[in-house]
Structure 1
């Protein structure tokens, strides 16, 4: 009886005997990837990366001041990505160890090895960005035979480890995938993420890496992969909808499919507009006036509150991306008009608008006058269904898209060679899609840098990129030591009987930032308690 083998399960060794079981294991490693929205500290999903920035705030939630004031320590940080990243890294290492001796065909093995290198690089990149450096582990450790109390490598060594993994992945992954394989990494995904890694290193380690960032991004724009990707031209907002997944702009995304694995972004972020429970959201996170004001006028002129025409109608004639990124007062939403004002044109009593600032009966109403519009699809239900279950969307979370590669190329090339034609071409291609005129000729390097940073902020707003840009540009002291503001809209009856909105910038929340400490998260104390060789980040 002892020799009978179970038929209802697969042994650890058996996983690597067939392509289907090996791919099932790799799919579980892919599931370790997270989008911007995920659970933390027992709370519901939140856009964690954006709450550290000047783009978005959270008011009234249990941990809201932790985001605004960096008010936490190594035992109470609201974001812990250390432990679960190493769990994911171990799984990638198990795959790399076992695939080399697997009887699978060389073609299948090489592809799966490419997946494993790509995923390990992604996990280490997250550690690199949040914590500055990591413990580098390239095999599944055995606590009985291996030293498991390892020290962190230097930032430079961590960078080179990540770059090496992306390079090994790019050498093995295909340029395109079949419909059945959508969601798996490609050569373009590996190279695009490598370019993003070099760009980050150019700011936090050494400016010499800007040249590598430009060289790598150029492969996707003007090199061997030219034409594989292009800017999506059928609507900026629509690019993020489930029905348009895997469009021409998407290079790598995290897969969701309602109801099997669904994104609760709609539930968590949608306005609390009255209706059936499935129609309205919880509106946890609110964009700031700082982000709203960053979007230009459609003429290319900066938006300016001191300009009477702009101030009288701040939501008219703006960059197309403004309307796709933000919900604002007067915007159509779910066959209604969304009023974020403290009252409405038909009810001038203050504080009785359930979607407005200072609303008394909806604690989740906007605190800034804005709601998140990016990712929000009017056709998707949110809130709860009639059985009390959460509902949401099946839209994928885009990790890397072609617009970001263009921005990487433009920024890196400008840092190396100034505003060349290649820089202008990349930025103007993005601006043209937004309905904006091209940049003026004759900009110098510093002027172009300012323009590129603006373009990154509005193009990639609320996609989890801004925090890492603040880190590498070292602008935390400048942009995060300012009070977060909102735009208070109030409808006022005029002498002629008409009702018009008035607009006022108002204080919403205090924000603080202490450099250099706050550029990195603290290593979790729980991890340091287990490993005596694990050092803490400065000042934590």
Structure 2
């Protein structure tokens, strides 16, 4: 079945085992006496799938893929916060353990983990007559994948964190922070063990479930993000050949619309449906064509730094390309962004964007010249929550992760060029020069990741792992600040420190009080 998550059904499985406002404190959740009890649940495969829906429901939350995940770009050179105190505090290096975004991110990641742990424990204990061995192993593998995804982000943001492989209830004390290396090793081993239990191909009726390719890609990402490039390249390369059938979606501008959902480019996406019971998202941009132009998503905007960084079609930057500016023989003042990387116009709205009838889509001002376009819909329909799926892992990421890993392990060989140029080809950009050094190719790949994944949550994690944030985040009006080395780790939320004696005894992350 397609996993279109109904949160009323999810409440049956959550019960008191999943903590409200998840921390490790002793929060008591009072259950509805009209709900099914846990004793009457967890009996068959249908119950197990409902539990899997519950884990995915946590990904749907506005604090995660439902809205804020893509806004991590606010903390980078790609975007800037216009409104929203929590992002602005982190962006300006004024955040503290009490900053709301710090607590909210921690909460949603541990909600995923606790729900996954509960699902794994209950499915393991299901009677043999209620679920087949194959279905049991597959669902446990899916939950393990989702848990590993959350732990990768947690360890990137906080480093050492409490590590749970069993569900906690409202009366359990939280645990101390485990070493990041211990968590990473455990999650890598967990993914290795569970990959064989996932199918290579997902039937159409099961869209939204986790396939083997997603788990292979996540394991490759673990290896890459934790400085094991040779292992990462070896893990990722098979995803580019049979039996996998991944391909880049032909048109980047349509990928982030309903036309691009569950395409051959998608390895893992979170499914949203407009209408119904709280199944929609809050991250897409919807324009009512019947109204006068408005400023889109006024809480954030792309930086001129990002816009000016996109190459021209000849593969050269705007400073040296003959295709750019009034000196170009093809220059058209009404279309100043023609001849550029196609991802620019597909990712960023400008004052040159108009409706089919010629009306400007947005009324831009001098201080807000750009807006995010990715996940943009031109429509007069008013949604009860947006219908766009959010892409967590795409084939373009597989190609660029492989290229990065192989370049670090072996240098810029033919396989590296092939992977990078496949991404550039769809963007309408000339191939890389064929005489790059390893260091030059490293920068080309980093740039490609920036352009390919703008407004998709990737850039901040990249800057952290490359340890270059303080060098590339530009000061903008005094609000773009990255304080190294302190800001390479977030502070543990004050709420967690207050309610988790074991973590409090260990103390805050370095540089924080």
Aligned counterparts, 1:226-265, within 5 A: 227-233=244-250, 235-260=251-276, 261-265=279-283
Q: Does the alignment pair 1:172 with 2:197? A: yes
The counterpart of 2:304, out of the listed 270, 286, 289, is: 289
Q: Does the alignment pair 1:19 with 2:12? A: no
Q: Which has the higher contact order (CA 8 A, sep 6+)?
A: 2
Residue 56 of structure 2: aligned partner: 30
Q: More helix by proportion, 1 or 2?
A: 2
Q: Does the alignment pair 1:189 with 2:189? A: no
The alignment partner of 1:33 has SS state of helix
C-alpha contact (below 8 Å) 1:321/1:434 kept by paired residues:
yes
Q: Distance in 2 between matches of 1:429 and 1:39?
A: 30
The alignment partner of 1:332 has SS state of coil
Residue 131 of structure 1: aligned partner: 158
Residue 82 of structure 2: aligned partner: 59
Residue 538 of structure 1: aligned partner: 510
Q: Does the alignment pair 1:472 with 2:465? A: yes
The counterpart of 1:121, out of the listed 148, 156, 181, is: 148
Aligned counterparts, 1:24-173, within 5 A: 24-34=50-60, 38=63, 47-63=70-86, 65-80=88-103, 81-103=105-127, 104-141=131-168, 148-173=173-198
Residue 354 of structure 2: aligned partner: 332
Q: Distance in 2 between matches of 1:380 and 1:522?
A: 43
C-alpha contact (below 8 Å) 2:60/2:281 kept by paired residues:
no
The alignment partner of 2:423 has SS state of helix
Residue 400 of structure 1: aligned partner: 393
Residue 21 of structure 2: aligned partner: none
Q: Distance in 2 between matches of 1:524 and 1:212?
A: 34
Structure 1 pair 257–445 and aligned structure 2 pair: CA distance change class (3 A): same
Structure 1 pair 537–228 and aligned structure 2 pair: CA distance change class (3 A): same
C-alpha contact (below 8 Å) 1:117/1:168 kept by paired residues:
no
C-alpha contact (below 8 Å) 1:334/1:378 kept by paired residues:
no
Residue 463 of structure 1: aligned partner: 456
1:435 shift after superposition: 1.4
Question: TM-score, normalised to structure 1's length?
Answer: 0.80
C-alpha contact (below 8 Å) 1:270/1:372 kept by paired residues:
no
The counterpart of 2:492, out of the listed 503, 516, 523, is: 523
The number of residue pairs the alignment matches comes to 465
Question: TM-score, normalised to structure 2's length?
Answer: 0.83
Residue 475 of structure 2: aligned partner: 483
1:410 shift after superposition: 0.2
Deviates more, 1:371-380 or 1:465-474: 371-380
Structure 1 pair 63–306 and aligned structure 2 pair: CA distance change class (3 A): farther
Q: Distance in 1 between matches of 2:499 and 2:33?
A: 38
The alignment partner of 2:465 has SS state of helix
Residue 23 of structure 2: aligned partner: none
1:471 shift after superposition: 0.4
Q: Distance in 1 between matches of 2:295 and 2:146?
A: 36
Q: Distance in 1 between matches of 2:428 and 2:380?
A: 27
Q: Distance in 2 between matches of 1:216 and 1:453?
A: 20
1:298 shift after superposition: 0.8
1:116 shift after superposition: 1.5
The alignment partner of 1:246 has SS state of coil
- Aligned-residue RMSD, C-alpha: 2.9
Structure 1 pair 270–474 and aligned structure 2 pair: CA distance change class (3 A): farther
Residue 298 of structure 1: aligned partner: 313
1:392 shift after superposition: 4.7
Residue 218 of structure 1: aligned partner: 237
Structure 1 pair 306–175 and aligned structure 2 pair: CA distance change class (3 A): closer
Q: Distance in 2 between matches of 1:262 and 1:142?
A: 29
The alignment partner of 1:13 has SS state of helix
1:70 shift after superposition: 1.9
Structure 1 pair 142–190 and aligned structure 2 pair: CA distance change class (3 A): same
Q: Distance in 2 between matches of 1:63 and 1:151?
A: 26
**Deviations 1:190-210, CA, capped at 9 Å, x for gaps:** 1111111221112xxxxxx11
Structure 1 pair 459–511 and aligned structure 2 pair: CA distance change class (3 A): same
Unaligned runs of 5+ in 1: 1-5, 203-208, 341-354, 359-366, 485-507
C-alpha contact (below 8 Å) 2:314/2:321 kept by paired residues:
no
**Deviations 1:473-495, CA, capped at 9 Å, x for gaps:** 11111112x223xxxxxxxxxxx
C-alpha contact (below 8 Å) 1:330/1:337 kept by paired residues:
no
Structure 1 pair 301–337 and aligned structure 2 pair: CA distance change class (3 A): farther
Unaligned runs of 5+ in 2: 1-31, 328-332
C-alpha contact (below 8 Å) 1:47/1:285 kept by paired residues:
no
The alignment partner of 1:533 has SS state of helix
1:143 shift after superposition: 7.2
Structure 1 pair 91–392 and aligned structure 2 pair: CA distance change class (3 A): closer
Deviates more, 1:458-467 or 1:91-100: 91-100
Q: Does the alignment pair 1:441 with 2:434? A: yes
**Deviations 1:62-95, CA, capped at 9 Å, x for gaps:** 4463143121100125332223322332221122
**Deviations 1:391-447, CA, capped at 9 Å, x for gaps:** 453010000010100000000110011001110010011111111221111211001
1:310 shift after superposition: 2.6
Max radius of gyration: which structure?
Answer: 1
1:149 shift after superposition: 4.1
Structure 1 pair 463–194 and aligned structure 2 pair: CA distance change class (3 A): same
Q: Distance in 2 between matches of 1:39 and 1:121?
A: 15
**Deviations 1:93-140, CA, capped at 9 Å, x for gaps:** 122222223121112111111111111112212211221122111112
